[in-house]
Amino acid sequence: MNNKFPLTAPTPEPGISTPRSAVSLRAVATGFLLVVLVSILVPYSDNIRHNTYLVGNHLPIIVLAAITFMCLIINPLLGRHRLATREMALAIGMMMISCSLPSSGFFRYFQPQLGSTVYLSVNNEMYPKYIQSLPDFLLPSKDPNSWIIRSYFLGLDPNGEHRLGDTWGPWLWPYLAWAVFVVPMFLGVMFLCAIMRKQWIINERLPFPLAMIPLELMAEPEPGRRLNSLWRDKLLWAGAAIPLAIYLMNGMHVFFSSVPQFQLKYDITAALSEYPWNTLPGSIKTATLFFSVVGITYFVSLDVAFSLWFFYVAYQFMIMIFDRFGTKLTSEHVQYQGFGIWLVYLALTLWISRGHLAYVGKTLFQKRDREEFFSYRLSVTGILVCGTLAAGFLTYCGLKLWMAILLVLLVYAWLTILARIIMESGLLLVQFVDTADPSHLMGYLFSTVSQTAAAKAVAVKQWMLVNMASRMIYTDQRENLAPFAANAMRLNNAAPSRDRPKVYLLLMLAFVGTLVLSGATHHVLTYDNGRQNFDNGYGPRMYPEQTIQYSVAMAEPEIQPHKVDRATNVTFGAAAMGLVGLSRMLWTASPFHPIGLLLLNSWAIQRIWFSIFIAWILKLIVLRWGGAPVFNRLRPFFIGLLLGEALASVFWVAIGFLVHWPVDQPFQIMPN
């Protein structure tokens, strides 16, 4: 957790041989063109064609496809007028920012929070009072039988009296109202990333794998060459050929059963059918290999990779052993342990960053450091203004001022930690321990002050606002703005000093543009097709129901009494993180890294732990018997694994646009 931690061997900074400005007209035009592409194509592909998510994680396949297209097609055609690395970095950075909104990062859940909660309230007698507690201007309607709500969920009746144009009026005020909260919160996150740039890149030297791999792909070619050495490396294409061939065959199997299918997962459920082995979770008994995760993990330090899979597997066996002796560890145990883990990790992060934060304070009124994107004064002012606007909006809606301020601070801290984790680990999928989030942490803190605090002192409206607002911002951690912003900032680290403020302003404009354009796209697709038909039902049904269920649990805890000793579990989690974190500070050879504990038992780790384990073994073998020369020589091969899986996904997404899949669930590839 500090500067003494073993780090991944630093990736060579791609050379930039051209003096061309990063903020050229064509770079800006390309960036906004990619923003438009993401804003419109992603909602349609995800929700109407039900393809592999074009975003889905923090190095989206649509981004890798755009890089490949620019490097292999556009630049060779442009010849000496090719896009320079810094121009592509700006365009791809803007594209990354736009990827945070159209899918699971925001819009998969935003409209359902306002529409599905109302529509589904008719199914539960407890829900209506939570809906009715909200101010009218936050929802298009509070009547589940109104035409605007029914048409939202079921789609407009082509023979009915209402048309698409009629739907905008009832949604206008909710859209504008929530924008007063959403825009400041997200822009505040971008200001936070700007403040932490020096700490993460210079002081801690985090490897930023999800930014450095695109930079290597976009590096300038040698004089007289159309492609750089990475694209010309046979190992890159050897690595890419493996997932391309396998997924081409597996996709054809969906259409033609006579084509053999290559299995990329193991299943030992039958072998573990007897007690106590049958108590192990399904994610241990069966797991899938993702080439993209293997490729990324190769660029992560061994201790981080080891900890990510080890802590997860060890905890599952601990659950089995406890069960053998008559004690069941449930998700509630994990949740409160997660609170302690997260709070101590936050404290350790602040301690490590204390020097940089003190430097920010000392230089607050000085001119912008040439290496920074904004002056510290502007960034700090931006955070304060954005946080004040967001907290002020919640207070106006009825949330107590101190609760609004606390919520904003917790969410900002939460997302800063999220960004830092991905900058160090390169994880494509990230999720903290389930329900160990800011809103639940607030519920726990208030209920420990007084046994009746959550039920009486805090009204139903308070918890409904807390859960709706917070879940809009950190929604789905696999596509959150904070890591995208940090990676986009790292992509543009080679931009000239004079261009840096312009670059970051363009990134912010990309966010605002995507918010408007993708929001309109979702609105149109929703009323044309019915929200109930989007994704797999989690977005339009389960997620908004969870918002109300969480609010009920916090406002009326007597309905669902706690079954565990919460303080003991919080203390246990805090002690575990403290032990691991301090051991890293005092003993740099420690194989255990705090990130593995922080993501303990999360959904994301359940999905990808096996792939991380395979990559860890491969890297261990390479370094043990080949050393640094072999490790560096094999880098293109592992980038190829990532690239091949992404290109295979793009190929089948294109097929999904042209034909109807002969199965209910279309062929999907990347971890999402």
Rounded (5°) CA angle 7-12-14 = 140
pLDDT digits (tens, 9 = 90+) for 461-519: 889 999 999 999 987 888 999 999 999 999 999 999 999 999 999 999 999 999 999 99
pLDDT digits (tens, 9 = 90+) for 536-567: 788 999 999 999 989 888 888 777 777 888 89
Instruction: Report if residue 129 sits inside a domain.
Output: no
Query: Helices 635-658 & 209-217, crossing angle to 10 degrees?
Result: 80
Alpha-carbon torsion (274, 280, 283, 287), positive or negative: negative
Instruction: Report if residue 152 sits inside a domain.
Output: yes
Any idea which of 9-23, 338-352, 393-407 has the lowest mean pLDDT?
9-23
Domain range holding 380?
25-122+146-658
Average pLDDT over residues 367-391: 95
Instruction: Report if residue 532 sits inside a domain.
Output: yes
In percent, the amount of the chain with pLDDT more than 70 equals 94
Tokens of 282: 């399904």
| 454 pLDDT more than 50 | no
Instruction: Report if residue 18 sits inside a domain.
Output: no
Instruction: Report if residue 335 sits inside a domain.
Output: yes
pLDDT digits (tens, 9 = 90+) for 562-611: 788 889 999 999 999 999 999 888 887 788 999 999 988 888 899 999 99
Give the pLDDT of residue 227: 94
Contact 360, 157 (CB under 8 A): no
Average pLDDT over residues 604-628: 95
Instruction: Report if residue 2 sits inside a domain.
Output: no
Any idea which of 191-195, 427-431, 640-644 has the lowest mean pLDDT?
427-431
| 668 pLDDT more than 90 | no
Any idea which of 221-230, 310-319, 561-570 has the lowest mean pLDDT?
561-570
Average pLDDT over residues 242-250: 94
Give the pLDDT of residue 562: 78
Say how far apart CA 174 and CA 169 lie, in whole Å: 10
Tokens of 124: 């539960």
> Phi and psi at residue 353, in whole multiples of 5°?
-90, 5
Average pLDDT over residues 270-284: 89
Average pLDDT score, the chain: 90
Contact 292, 648 (CB under 8 A): no
Average pLDDT over residues 35-43: 97
| 82 pLDDT more than 60 | yes
Say how far apart CA 436 and CA 599 lie, in whole Å: 11
Say how far apart CA 365 and CA 377 lie, in whole Å: 6
pLDDT digits (tens, 9 = 90+) for 515-535: 999 999 999 999 999 999 888
| 308 pLDDT more than 80 | yes
Q: How many domains does the chain have?
A: 1
Instruction: Report if residue 15 sits inside a domain.
Output: no
Give the pLDDT of residue 19: 44
CA dihedral 160, 166, 168, 173 (to 10 degrees): -110
Contact 499, 433 (CB under 8 A): no
pLDDT band at 667 (very low <50, low <70, confident <90, very high): low
Instruction: Report if residue 538 sits inside a domain.
Output: yes
pLDDT band at 672 (very low <50, low <70, confident <90, very high): low
